[in-house]
């Protein structure tokens, strides 16, 4: 009897395997055997995030492979997966700028798979996690919040924060060693968001007492939630509430405290306690109230809360993006002293008297912006942007010979915009592995080939916020300090290539950031 059961089980397994294989072959035929990767698990599978040959494409593999897969197949569109589990389906990787532009502009044919973004809506629906008419409604209300006055506030807050760091915290020190530069840039991000987005006074020197009715300070709640937001996606609610792991419990407390703080901020503005401010919450509520009074698009209270959360974490303001990209920019400047000298000379040409730069100087500080954009190109905060084909479509790309070629994309296909592949595509970026900020000083630089802030109608509405913050930070720091790599005895004798690889090694948290990069800031003298 046991032998019979085993025989039956083996036959069933064979039949299921043959059925899966037949489905897999049918899926491949649906794209005319278009070349690409063949794996069991697709790029969006959360079970296996990294590349394992024939097993997993890996959603995070793009940071490592960059343009290599496309070069291997001789095409800037490849079939990224025809996976077997959970079911055979098609997906494409895109590293062709025109094809990507076509996809992002055709919002109704290629939609955002918002069903995978529930973690970003636990305070309420927002502009990041909605689609179609709902997205339009959120966008109409949130976009006006990013005013020129708010951008000026962002600049002033960023400059003031670094001035406090350099002249108060580092007062009297001519040489400051920092064990990990990301600690500085992430703290800066929290201060700028707190001041410019939330309208709350925050500083490097924490003088604030714990408000009544709260378990932790707002600054700490923001930091913990932004750092550990993925816990909300990984763990069910009962784990967050009952498992006695200190980091999990701290996240749960911080997320509840942040919600309470946001409710209090909204109430204070509703009651007239904080009128006339230029912070994003005030601007958002004003835009929403204008919509209500005119009978136009407006948001519910929970949606207002959801979008405020999006300003902090979900990408409407790419805060961690800015912090991590700024950290990479400072590491790259430390590794490339010639580029740092060129940037310093440019800043001196704009600010010959050495004064603190103002928002009105931003348009002239082109090299500071170029350094930031080049760091975003080389170290994109996300490696892939997923889309879903809602109907049969045709993707058009350019071959290496300059000819146009079409690729059939069946309805239901996943279309993965391969950001890292595009950013390292030599067709748009000659010598793509080299740090060359001057690329962005050319008025004809390929704007469609830089996707640090996405593109098309769903492009990041917080782009100006991020660029303003980064240019102010880079300009202030480089005008006052020479940035170098910290000498560490254990790395004595390493080659330039080994040092570069060590310092630019990344890690994945909310976005892609530097793992550990110790730098030294040496205060400039009058003879620099």
| pLDDT tens digits along 108-121 | 888 877 555 555 55
pLDDT at 235: 77
pLDDT tens for each residue of 289-305? 776 666 666 777 777 77
Q: Which helix (H) or strand (E) holds 250?
A: helix 246-270
pLDDT at 51: 73
In sequence order, the β-bridge partners of residue 41 are 56, 85
pLDDT at 139 over 80: no
DSSP 3-state assignment of 406? strand
**Does 460 show up as a binding residue in the annotation?**
yes
Q: CATH number of 125-381+452-528: 3.40.50.720, 3.90.1310.10, 1.10.630.10, 3.40.1440.10?
A: 1.10.630.10
pLDDT at 373 over 80: yes
Q: For 379-403, what is the mean pLDDT?
A: 85
CATH code 1.10.630.10 region(s) in the chain: 125-381+452-528
The full 3-state SS of 337-350, as one line of letters, equals HHHHHHHHHHHHHH
Radius of gyration of the chain (CA): 25
pTM above 0.75, yes or no: yes
Measured CA angle at 463 (ends 460, 469), to 5 deg: 145
Measured CA angle at 58 (ends 454, 380), to 5 deg: 30
| % of the chain surpassing 70 pLDDT | 80
Please list, in sequence order, all residues whose beta carbon lies within 8 angstroms of the beta carbon of residue 403, skipping any fewer than 6 positions away.
Answer: none
Measure Cα distances from 67 to 51, 248, 378 in Å: 14, 37, 12
Q: For 124-150, what is the mean pLDDT?
A: 68
Please provide residue 397's backbone torsions phi and psi, each rounded to the nearest 5 degrees.
-135, 170
pLDDT at 318: 44
Q: Which helix (H) or strand (E) holds 178?
A: strand 175-178
Q: For 385-403, what is the mean pLDDT?
A: 86
């Amino acid at each position: 009897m046991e032998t019979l059961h085993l025989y039956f089980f083996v036959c069933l397994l064979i039949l299921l395997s043959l059925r899966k294989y037949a489905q897999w072959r049918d899926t491949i035929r649906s794209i005319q055997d278009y070349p690409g990767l063949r794996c069991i698990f697709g790029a969006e599978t959360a079970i296996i995030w990294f590349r394992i040959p024939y097993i997993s494409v890996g959603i995070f593999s793009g940071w490592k492979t960059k343009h290599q897969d496309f070069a291997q197949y001789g095409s800037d569109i490849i079939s990224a997966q025809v996976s077997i589990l959970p079911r055979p389906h098609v997906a494409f990787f895109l590293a062709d700028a025109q094809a990507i532009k076509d996809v992002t502009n055709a919002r109704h044919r290629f939609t955002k798979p918002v069903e995978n973004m529930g973690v970003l809506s636990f305070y309420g629906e927002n502009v990041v996690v909605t689609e179609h008419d709902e997205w339009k409604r959120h966008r109409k209300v949130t976009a006006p919040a990013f005013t020129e006055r708010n951008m000026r506030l962002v600049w002033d807050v960023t400059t003031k924060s670094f001035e406090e760091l350099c002249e108060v915290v580092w007062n009297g020190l001519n040489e400051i060693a920092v064990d990990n530069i990301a600690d500085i840039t992430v703290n800066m991000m929290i201060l700028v968001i707190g001041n410019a987005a939330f309208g709350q006074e925050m500083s490097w020197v924490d003088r604030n007492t714990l408000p009544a009715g709260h378990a932790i300070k707002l600054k700490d709640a923001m930091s913990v939630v932004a750092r550990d937001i993925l816990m909300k996606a990984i763990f069910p609610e009962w784990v967050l509430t009952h498992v006695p792991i200190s980091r999990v419990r701290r996240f749960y407390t911080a997320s509840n405290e942040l919600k309470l703080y946001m409710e209090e901020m909204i109430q204070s503005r509703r009651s007239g306690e904080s009128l006339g401010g230029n912070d994003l919450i005030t601007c958002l509520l004003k835009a929403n109230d204008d919509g209500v009074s005119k009978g136009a698009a407006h948001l519910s209270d929970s949606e207002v809360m959801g979008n405020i959360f999006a300003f902090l974490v979900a990408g409407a303001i790419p805060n961690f993006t800015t912090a991590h990209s700024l950290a990479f920019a400072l590491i790259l400047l430390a590794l490339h002293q010639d580029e740092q000298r060129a940037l310093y000379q440019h800043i001196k040409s704009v600010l010959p008297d050495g004064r603190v730069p103002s928002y009105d100087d931003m348009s002239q500080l082109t090299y500071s912006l170029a350094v930031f954009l080049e760091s975003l190109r080389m170290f994109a905060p996300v490696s892939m942007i997923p889309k879903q084909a809602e109907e049969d479509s045709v993707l058009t790309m350019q071959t290496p010979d300059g000819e146009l070629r079409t690729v059939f994309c069946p309805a239901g296909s996943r279309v993965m915009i391969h950001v890292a592949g595009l950013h390292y595509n030599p067709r748009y970026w000659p010598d793509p592995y080299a740090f060359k900020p001057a690329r962005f000083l050319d008025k004809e630089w390929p704007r469609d080939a830089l996707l640090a802030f996405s593109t098309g109608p769903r492009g990041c509405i917080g782009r100006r916020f991020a660029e303003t913050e980064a240019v102010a930070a880079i300009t202030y720091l480089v005008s006052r300090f020479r940035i170098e790599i910290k000498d560490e005895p254990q790395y004595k004798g390493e080659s330039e290539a080994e040092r570069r690889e060590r310092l630019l090694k990344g890690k994945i948290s909310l976005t892609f950031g530097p793992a550990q990069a110790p730098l030294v800031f040496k205060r400039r003298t009058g003879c620099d």
